[in-house]
Amino acid sequence: MLTLAEAAAQLGISAATLRHQVQGGRLTARLFGKTYVVSSEELERYRAISLGHPGRPSHRVAPQSGR
């Protein structure tokens, strides 16, 4: 089990980002006292699914060609 700070360091992102992922249901973690912990397996699942797609999705419309 890793704390969110330890997990974030492994992923190269902030602990706050992981906390938002937990609160949004995209990362499963357990709360022990005031500290969230995440399993290594769950962290790898999250890495495989979520990383490589950083930030919010773009909602910009692609420019039209031929104008």
Which tens digit of pLDDT belongs to each residue from 14-24?
A: 999 999 999 99
- CB count in 10 Å sphere of residue 22: 17
Please state the rounded mean pLDDT for residues 20-48: 94
What's the chain's average pLDDT? 84
Specify whether the CB–CB gap between 53 and 15 falls below 8 A. Answer: no
Token pair, residue 45, equals: 């699942």
Cα–Cα distance for residue pair 48/9, rounded to 1 Å: 16
Cα–Cα distance for residue pair 17/64, rounded to 1 Å: 35
Looking at residue 64, the DSSP 8-state letter turns out to be: P
Rg (CA), the chain: 16
Comparing 28 with 58, the larger pLDDT belongs to 28
